[in-house]
Structure 1
């Protein structure tokens, strides 16, 4: 993994390892993929204004979030079905976050269960909640996350409908994954992934959903049952209920409109993750980085404002912080890493982001991310 010096290198290794149908699911976005590109473009367009003649040898990138000190100002965003791309990927990513002292958000469409992931990262895992169509299931998932010790519940609000992901439509991708002749041929051309897939029993079971599916359901049937609860109606009344049920930090993810951010905070959200779902839900949704100033004005100075989408380099992390974010989450970089090299790949992805962030901080004269005026480092 040391030969991988950028996230793009890890992405290329992941591309070579995975059948195209799976790589495109990770790599792609909705429609023309404009929202996905524009997240990254908005961050890469930021230009830094360095200050020189400073002693930068003591620079540090640790950051406090919800009263906890993390070693860097970023964490691992939720990435669904990770265990399909690398067996045990959810727990591997959680373990990488634990080793790096960073937060990890377990996807609401994970393969590993909440309870198993909390064993890998007992002090660093949060849980992403996708509300189920059946309220009793949602309540039970919240209770399980509480019992397991998750530090935060991340309520994701930006999936009212299924997206039109054109790569997936052309490839015939779906969950559960079905072995078509085309898929079998693609698998033969990617033997490393195929051998892992067969060695671990084929289609993995979505363990978080197994308790709710009909008794005796196999992996396909559990996935099909989970799909019946996708894209269910969510309103602010649901958030009120989640706030009543959840005793710890409550984060609302998928916010882009300042008025939605203000409503979420008024209803008890402890933090906001500004996001357009990494460009996976709509191709003409606004890019997130330019909205950070408006979102900050809407929620005030004291509520943690986080963001995800478009993070590909450590320089993107500093750009987001200078634009007004308190903390950043990245999903694809670490997913590329775990697909490319398992635990070593996940560790390498985090190390790359850290190294690039540290280098840029030294180059621009930023000694600490607790600096109250990070905006002065950008044009």
Structure 2
């Protein structure tokens, strides 16, 4: 890791170490990938005000997220199939996050189960829930998260139906999966370290699903069953039901409209994530960063606003904080690190982003996270 200087270096190393099907699953978006590209382009378009001759000798990145102390304003976002990027990937990522003093969010579609992760880490983590047609199964997932002492429930609200991801279909990550084609088998065989790690891992299926959701017996049947379980009837009354049975902090992820943000406040969510699912759902939707200030203006005094979409550096974190986010979720950035080097790779990703944020704060003349505001950006002062 000593020659890694940025997230792009981790991405390239990840690309070389992990089979194409799983790298592309993380790296690509839906349809023509317009929204995926917009997330990056609109962040990069925001320029900083460089300030000079300010005492920046003691800079502090600590903050609070959902009332809990964090060493920097970052959260590891939920990413499905993390354990196929690196054996027991969810456990390694959670350990790295907890060592760095930031929250980790386990996906419903994780390889390691809630119980696997809880048994192998020291502190509570967040759990992300997809609401499925089988409400009894949803209730069971929530009960399992409670039993594991998960400290927040992140409810993803922008996946009632699944946006098509062309690369997944081309690579055999379809429904049902078709990974055992000659080109995939040859690709797997060309990655012996990855293959060895996956072979030694606790699981190679969806640990939260297999054996719990009716009809989900193995990888193929699970993929088919889950694809039919995403619920297009999901509505605000269902969110009220979840609020009534979840005793902890509730975060709604996938808010990209001011009206929806106001509804989320009414429902009693402790936080919301301004997000377009990383450009993996509605292609042609606006970038997350373009909607952030509008949502902050509408409801930012009533709930905690988190940000997700395109973060690749500490500079990007600074941009989102400047426009009103309390903290940022990262997905691809830490997965690149995981695929590149397991727990050490995730730690490297977090270290890179934290270091870049610290330097950017200094060169913009601010010393504390709470001092970051629109004034650090050109055209906002």
TM-score range, shorter chain: over 0.9
Q: Establish whether residue 81 from structure 1 lines up as the match of residue 62 from structure 2.
A: no
Q: Confirm or deny: 8 A CA contact 1:276 1:287 kept in the other structure.
A: yes
Q: Confirm or deny: 8 A CA contact 1:162 1:231 kept in the other structure.
A: no
Residue 378 of structure 1 aligns with which residue? 377
Residue 191 of structure 1 aligns with which residue? 192
Q: Confirm or deny: 8 A CA contact 2:274 2:305 kept in the other structure.
A: yes
Instruction: Extract unaligned runs of 5+ from structure 2.
Output: none
Q: Establish whether residue 20 from structure 1 lines up as the match of residue 20 from structure 2.
A: yes
Change (3 A) 1:365 1:155: same
Following superposition, the deviation at residue 225 of structure 1 comes to: 3.3
Provide the rounded CA distance (Å) in 1 between the counterparts of 2:131 and 2:14.
31
Following superposition, the deviation at residue 200 of structure 1 comes to: 4.4
Change (3 A) 1:212 1:33: same
Instruction: Extract unaligned runs of 5+ from structure 1.
Output: none
Alignment: residue pair count: 377
Provide the rounded CA distance (Å) in 2 between the counterparts of 1:9 and 1:177.
30
Q: What RMSD, in angstroms, separates the aligned Cα atoms of the two structures?
A: 1.8
Deviations 1:313-346 (A, max 9, x none): 1100001000111110000011110111011101
Q: Confirm or deny: 8 A CA contact 1:30 1:166 kept in the other structure.
A: yes
Name the SS of the counterpart of 2:145 in structure 1: helix
Provide the rounded CA distance (Å) in 2 between the counterparts of 1:338 and 1:216.
27
Residue 141 of structure 2 aligns with which residue? 141
Provide the rounded CA distance (Å) in 1 between the counterparts of 2:261 and 2:121.
29
Give the TM-score normalised by the residue count of structure 2: 0.94
Name the SS of the counterpart of 2:64 in structure 1: strand
Q: Confirm or deny: 8 A CA contact 2:215 2:225 kept in the other structure.
A: no
Q: Which has the higher mean CA deviation after the structures are superposed, 147-156 or 290-299?
A: 290-299
Provide the rounded CA distance (Å) in 1 between the counterparts of 2:80 and 2:68.
26
Residue 126 of structure 1 aligns with which residue? 126
Name the SS of the counterpart of 2:119 in structure 1: helix
Provide the rounded CA distance (Å) in 2 between the counterparts of 1:227 and 1:37.
26
Give the TM-score normalised by the residue count of structure 1: 0.95
Change (3 A) 1:121 1:75: farther
Q: Confirm or deny: 8 A CA contact 1:132 1:232 kept in the other structure.
A: no
Q: Confirm or deny: 8 A CA contact 1:97 1:121 kept in the other structure.
A: no
Show the 5 A alignment for 1:21-170.
21-170=21-170
Deviations 1:177-200 (A, max 9, x none): 631112112223333223333454
Provide the rounded CA distance (Å) in 2 between the counterparts of 1:200 and 1:295.
42
